[in-house]
Amino acid sequence: MAVHEPLRTNVARARVEAFRDGRRRERTDTVAVEEPLEIRVRGEGDPEAVQVAVTMRTPGGDFELAVGFLFTEGLIRPGDVRRVAYCDDLPGPEQRYNVVSVELARPFDRSLLRRNFTTTSSCGVCGKAALDDVEVRCAPVPDGPEVPASVLCGLPERLRSHQRVFERTGGLHAAGLFTPAGALELVREDVGRHNAVDKVIGEMVLAGRLPLADRILQVSGRLSFEIVQKAAVAGIPIVTAVGAPSSLAIEAAQRLGVTLAGFVRADRLNVYSRPERIEES
């Protein structure tokens, strides 16, 4: 299904002038790599692939990112993907690994491309129209598991301990998929918090493991509408974060049946929607 993805560096070296106690000195720092990734789709019978999106990302998990993005945006369904590969018809080796083509086992409906999917490493497009759109293609999440609050309070530290690139750079977001008992199944990092979520969900799409009705998504940073939307499309019932949710994220969670918890710490958390899934402990 997927052509082997080459091992690429996700960190780079940069010369910096550091000031300590008012004194200047030169040193080398490790920073996270950020590069554009173009996502293309080729449906069955199409003579060529069509460009769908360009996103700024950290290399690594590019195939999962592409598939996760297409799935959470409602452009493909589980089982649609026949092959994922880098485009090999591009000039220059520096571009070859920045364009991913997803080939489908069915025709691709290009009318689904109602808006320009050009995003950045910050949050993507939000708004009432986006919320109405996701409700059309995403049923509310079923009841799902009930989880002790103490389990959720332990997730940020478990996620943090597996952020290998963040440990070196301090510059990446992370998304982790956990069981109701708090066991970590999968963690992915990226300069974009929504990219990290797409990498996690894309891997589950390719593994044929959706919907994720008995899993918890923990993210670093804050909770945006886009993260809630992606979780709901994947069937994830509980989404937690160390940061705050936005107003639209809360509204989306309430309408889509997602339990949303923010400001998660070792001894506390705030639940903004569907609190019945969280048990006292």
Q: CA-CA distance, 181 to 127, in Å (whole number)?
A: 34
In the structure encoding, which two tokens stand for residue 78, read together?
A: 């589980």
CA distance 135 to 123: 19
Residue 193, token pair as written in the block: 């918090």
Mean pLDDT, residues 234-250 taken together: 94
What are the pLDDT digits (tens) for 253-265?
999 999 999 999 9
**For the chain, percent of residues with pLDDT exceeding 90:** 58
Residue 266 DSSP symbol: S
Position 119 confidence tier, pLDDT thresholds 50, 70, 90: very low
How many degrees, rounded to 5, is the angle at CA 75 between CA 69 and CA 77?
A: 90
- The string of pLDDT tens digits covering residues 86-117 is 987 666 666 678 899 999 999 998 888 865 44
Q: Is 264:278 a contact under the CB 8 Å cutoff?
A: no
- Which of 43-52, 87-96, 198-207 bottoms out in mean pLDDT, i.e. has the lowest? 87-96
> What's the confidence (pLDDT) of residue 191?
86
Read off the pTM.
0.87
- 67, 20 Cβ separation under 8 angstroms: no
Least confident among 4-13, 21-30, 189-198: 4-13
CATH of the domain spanning 147-279: 3.40.140.10
- Catalytic one of 87, 123, 126, 153: 123
Average pLDDT over residues 206-229: 93
* 126 given a catalytic annotation: no
The domain segmentation of the chain, as residue ranges, is 147-279
Q: Is the peptide bond before 93 cis (omega within 30 degrees of 0)?
A: no
Query: Does the pLDDT of residue 4 top 70, yes or no?
Result: no
Q: What angle do CA 148, 243, 253 make, to 5 degrees?
A: 65
pLDDT score for 90: 64
Whole-number pLDDT of residue 40: 94
Q: Is the pLDDT of residue 82 over 70?
A: yes
Cβ proximity of 128 and 225 under 8 Å: no
> Rounded to an integer, what distance in angstroms lies between the CA atom of residue 239 and that of residue 196?
14
Q: What is residue 182's predicted lDDT score, i.e. its pLDDT?
A: 96
Span 123-135, average pLDDT? 53
Q: What is the pLDDT of residue 116?
A: 40
Q: Where are the alpha helices (DSSP H) in 73-127?
A: 93-96
Percent of the chain as helix, strand, coil, to the nearest 5: 30, 30, 40
Residue 222 pLDDT > 80: yes
The DSSP 8-state label assigned to residue 235 in this structure reads T
Q: Are 112 and 77 in contact (CB under 8 A)?
A: no
Residue entry with tokens 């808006």 = 115
Tell me 222's DSSP state: -
Determine the Cα–Cα distance for residues 134 and 130; give it in Å rounded to an integer.
6
Q: How far apart are CA 35 and CA 11, in angstroms?
A: 11
Distances (CA, A) of 167 to 15, 16, 21, 199: 19, 18, 25, 19
What number is the average pLDDT over the span 198-218?
96
Q: In this predicted structure, what is the pLDDT of residue 65?
A: 96
Centre a 10 Å sphere on the Cβ of residue 272 and count the other Cβ atoms it contains: 21
- Rounded-to-integer distance, Cα 186 and Cα 207, Å: 13
Categorize the per-residue pLDDT at 170 as very low, low, confident or very high, splitting at 50, 70 and 90: low
Give the per-residue pLDDT at 92: 61
The answer, yes or no, to whether residue 194 has pLDDT greater than 80, is yes
pLDDT of res. 118: 41
Q: Which H or E run contains 205? A: helix 193-206
